Chain A
Amino acid sequence: MAENGIGASVRRKEDNRFLTGKGNYTDDINVVGQTYAYFVRSPYAHAILNSIDTSAASASDGVVAVLTGDDLAEDGIAPLICGVNVTSDDGEPHRAPLHPALAQGKVNYVGDHVAVVIAESLAQAKDAAEKVSIDYEVLPAVASTATAAEENQQQIHDIAPNNMCYNWPFGDKAAVDAVFETAHKISTLDLINNRMVTNPMEPRAAAGEYNSGTEEITLHVTTQNPHVHRLILSAFNQLAPEHKLRVVGPDVGGGFGVKIFVYAEELVVGWACRKLNRPVKWTSDRTEAFLADAHGRDHVATAEMALDDQGKFLAMRVNTTANLGAYLSTFSTMVPSYLYAFLLAGQYTTPLIYSEVKAVFTNTAPVDAARGAGRPEATYLLERLVDVCAEDMGLDPAEIRRRNFIPVDAFPYQTPVVQCYDSGDYPAALEKALQLADYDGFTGRAEEAKSRGMLRGIGLSSYVEACGIAPSAAVGQLGAGVGLWESAQVRFNPTGNVQVFTGTHSHGQGHETTFAQLVTEQLGVPIENIEVIHGDTAKTQFGMGTYGSRSLAVGGVAIAKACEKLIEKGKKIAAHALEAAEGDIEFVDGDFTVAGTDKAMNIAEVAFNAYVPHSYPEGLEPGFDENAFFDPLNFSFPAGTHVCEVEVDPETGEVEIVKYSAVDDFGKLINPMIVEGQVHGGIVHGVGQALLEGCQYDDDGQLITASYMDYAMPRADNVPSFDVDYAPTNPPHNPLGVKGCGEAGAIGAPPAVINAISNALGVKHIDMPATPEAVWRAAQSAA
């Protein structure tokens, strides 16, 4: 292993700038002549816009412009899009209502964008926004997921009868129904997957600047995928041709999915900076983030499992209603369909699965991918149902899992729901996790707790997810509008240091370190001489960005392939310089050597030769700089078992997580320190969903959890420290042997926590978030 190479917990290269206040986030960017945008948002969930009077606002101090949807339409800026098609069971594409960046004629959720005020200062913009006079004709609102598609409901979009976006059945219903007819036992569970607000700590922001000389727009934006932003803004929104639009995602303070999407504010800022020929900056405040960031989850589901007399799963039937909000966000349609139903097999051999997903519109903020995206919803449903099955069959939750796991020798394993798992050892992770959690000692601990009047519970969650998104052919067949390869460029400078350009984007994941470790391992260049560059369409050739735990599994492989190309070229240069046959050149630890001799040349010397080719192989291009693209053959399938132990105070309903153990299979670890940090963060994201976070709208569609005073984020004193270990297997299709780790915790944790609480209380189910009030009520009714 190279020093600081694969497997080393290298301290992060990016940390010094963050620790000294030298990070460069979008709101930190200030330019001469900058103006400030502030959006006028609908206070109503559903209303007709009779008129907008901007005259008083326009005359207000410092105001540069007040712009509305009419201005946007006049300039030919097209509505926001949804990039993935899901075909409904009537054979028609999903219903996609027009989604103008500034409302035209109607508003459909609280926070919907009505107008933008641009002024010399933010305070002036806010003052003027108060003076925009809007005549709303308020309509009844649809706020409930469960009832949105009921007959006689208020219709939101003419294009979507019964507020239905799509009805998407998957699987052989007749075959599944037949198994249920004759099964030994049927276990059933109704559950809600609570709506979450994603809440990266940096609010979204956009800063646009137009250069009238080059006719280029530069848009700094809080994005996880600058090239995808550019592509959509250019090809679909008609903001500017792709070569006249530079999108930069500078330092981004957390994403978790919510910064994948192209939002109204970003499009408006890009358009307005050119229209006004002034730099325009917009930064969301936290209330706006709650109102208008895409939200996550929000399912209402019924799940049923048919079992034989040994507790083997024979068939599963799932009925889900998924709330997509008022409009379709960029990738929203694929989340409760492909990313959800295709993971319903979990770690089990269940041979038949039928799923029906009803995706509905409501007068709430759009819902899209959030850390895990569909996979947490599938895992929560399945792993809760498995515990109900165990209870119904009188089996230990660990035992029923063992009886149904896909055996180690069955890989590659074709599930009944499209995915073909390439590798895994589910029993190994389970047994290791049980040991880490001292599962066998639980009974003693529960008795001890009981003597203090406390209720102890333990819960398991054995999850599998599909990451490394994604094989382009597979997503193309499913209706995605893009390919999901990744690109890399590895460039030596003449002085021997290396710049690595990646199309992925780091917003906390530590790519600047992990990717440098890949390069130092492969090329033998000291890590301090390697710089990883990302996030700027003017610097990196192309890329699809970071989400779905894809950066290392897809982007990392592209870097490795570019390094291989450099080694191949370097052999030619070294062979010429060392006067040897190319076939005799070996490359080890940064040196090209002639096999069996002491003749050698460091890769830095080779790079110098390539740029100063005074004596150079005939026919070979100068330069030492290679590109590579990688399109994976399959998804990767991280998996693991998490064990949560809780203590519940039946008097107060308070839940304390006393121990949390996670054993995951991420394949090979490049930087174990960073991976462990990703696991910790994911777990707490999941614990937040299970115990604290619940986004609530009232019946009128008013968001009643629109600040950190009302929406409970996990804090340091809500969670314990964690025990983390690994049970790796090798994914055969991934050249680096890696699987991805960023979402695992958020997927594994919610069912582990709720299984533990249900176990403690002796109840069949409790919905998330299991707040003290909900737990206290459940404890009372159980007693």
Chain B
Amino acid sequence: MQTISMNINGVSVSGEVEDRTLLVQFLRENLRLTGTHVGCDTSQCGACVVHVDGVSVKSCTILAVQSDGCEVVTIEGLATGSHLHPMQQAFKDNHGLQCGFCTPGMVMSAIDIVNRNGCDVDEATVRKELEGNICRCTGYHNIVKSVQAGAKNMGG
């Protein structure tokens, strides 16, 4: 067991973890931040995407101990009170979610896509960049619309 500490959604936290504990397990099991989901066991589906030091990471792919000392943002950390993050709002406005299970990972990836590609990111880029996030409900049509609308919203 090791003691780790990190800043999650602006709050300093620490906990005891086994060496084999994944970041997503630390978030879900230790901290009960259950907004980050697990949809596969091969780092393919992207339901577990969070931001670590400002970059999107599949939290099933890194160990909790690797995140020691990092700043982590999860889906729970995006909204300000009842005010949704512009990307969350865009997903709501454009019906970019159905069952909601892939949604946290989609939104976290989407923000990272905009951070890297700018607010005028085109459809082809969005589709290519979302390759690591699987959705079974929406057919992606409205997710892509949401990401582009969210990108514009993020640009103010």
Contact = CB atoms under 8 A, between A and B. Distances in A.
Contacts of A715: 130-131, 133-134, 140
Interface in B97-156: 97-104, 107, 123, 126-128, 130-131, 133-145
B100 A287 contact: no
A287 B139 contact: no
A745 B126 CA distance: 23
16 contacts: A11-B95, A16-B84, A20-B88, A23-B100, A25-B34, A123-B18, A201-B135, A254-B99, A254-B101, A254-B136, A679-B139, A681-B98, A682-B139, A713-B136, A716-B143, A722-B139
Given A12-B92, A18-B97, A681-B98, A201 B136 contact: yes
Interface stretch (A186-194, A394-402, A505-513, A767-775): A505-513
Nearest to A198: B136
Interface in B73-97: 74-76, 78-79, 84, 88, 91-93, 95, 97
A14 interface: yes
Contact of B88 (A12, A19, A673): A19
Given A15-B92, A719-B140, A745-B139, A708 B134 contact: yes
A510 B97 CA distance: 10
Nearest to A256: B136
A437 interface: no
Nearest to A709: B42
B102 A201 contact: yes
A496 to B, nearest CB: 23
A684 B135 CA distance: 10
A491 interface: no
Interface string A337-356: 00000000000000000000
B40 A681 contact: no
Given A15-B91, A16-B84, A252-B99, A708 B138 contact: no
Interface pairs A-B: 6 shortest CB-CB? A21-B35, A253-B101, A18-B100, A508-B99, A680-B139, A684-B139
Interface of A: 11-12, 14-23, 25, 27-28, 30, 123, 199-203, 251-254, 256, 285-287, 507-510, 673-674, 676-677, 679-685, 707-709, 713-717, 719, 721-722, 745
A301 B68 CA distance: 57
B100 A14 contact: yes
Contacts of B36: 21
A127 B92 CA distance: 42
Interface string B19-56: 01000000010001111111111101101000000000
B84 A20 contact: yes
A681 B47 CA distance: 18
Nearest to A252: B99
A680 B142 contact: yes
A30 B32 CA distance: 9
Contacts of B37: 25, 201-202, 253
A714 B134 CA distance: 8
A201 B133 CA distance: 10
Q: Which of A16, A27, A202, A251 has the most CB of B within 10 A?
A: A202
Q: Which of A28, A201, A252 has the most CB of B within 10 A?
A: A201
B123 A709 contact: no
Contacts of A509: 98
Nearest to A673: B95
Nearest to A251: B100
Given A509-B98, A708-B40, 9 more contacts: A20-B88, A201-B134, A254-B101, A285-B40, A673-B95, A680-B138, A713-B134, A715-B134, A722-B141
A716 B130 contact: yes
Contact of A11 (B45, B79, B93, B102): B93
B140 A253 contact: no
Q: Which of B78, B98, B127 has the most CB of A within 10 A?
A: B98
Contacts of B95: 11-12, 673-674, 676-677
B99 A717 contact: no
Contact of B101 (A30, A202, A679, A714): A202
B99 A507 contact: yes
A717 B139 contact: no
B136 to A, nearest CB: 5
Contacts of A23: 35, 100-101
Given A18-B97, A707-B44, A716-B127, A721 B141 contact: yes
Contact of A18 (B44, B103, B126, B133): B103
B40 A716 contact: no
A355 B74 CA distance: 54
A505 to B, nearest CB: 11
Contacts of B40: 285-286, 707-708
Nearest to A203: B39
Given A20-B76, A716-B127, A253 B99 contact: yes
Nearest to A722: B141
A341 to B, nearest CB: 28
Q: Which of A18, A203, A674, A716 has the most CB of B within 10 A?
A: A716
B62 to A, nearest CB: 17
Contacts of B99: 18, 200-202, 251-254, 507-508
Q: Which of A30, A254, A509, A510 has the most CB of B within 10 A?
A: A254
B100 A253 contact: yes
Nearest to A671: B95
Q: Which of B42, B44, B100, B144 has the most CB of A within 10 A?
A: B100
A719 B136 contact: no
A17 B92 CA distance: 11
A27 B47 CA distance: 14
A745 B141 CA distance: 13
B76 to A, nearest CB: 4
Given A30-B32, A510-B98, A21 B74 contact: yes
Contact of A707 (B42, B140, B142, B144): B42
Contact of A20 (B35, B41, B123): B35
Given A16-B92, A684-B140, A717 B75 contact: no
A372 B41 CA distance: 28
Given A12-B95, A202-B39, A252-B99, A716 B133 contact: yes
Nearest to B92: A15
B128 A717 contact: yes
Contact of B33 (A21, A27, A199, A202): A21
Nearest to A724: B141
Nearest to A289: B40
Contacts of A674: 95
A716 B35 contact: no
Contacts of A20: 35, 75-76, 78-79, 84, 88
A573 to B, nearest CB: 37
Contacts of A682: 139
A254 B32 CA distance: 22
B130 A201 contact: no
A57 B84 CA distance: 48
B92 A508 contact: no
B137 A254 contact: yes
A381 to B, nearest CB: 24
Contacts of B145: 721
A709 B42 CA distance: 7
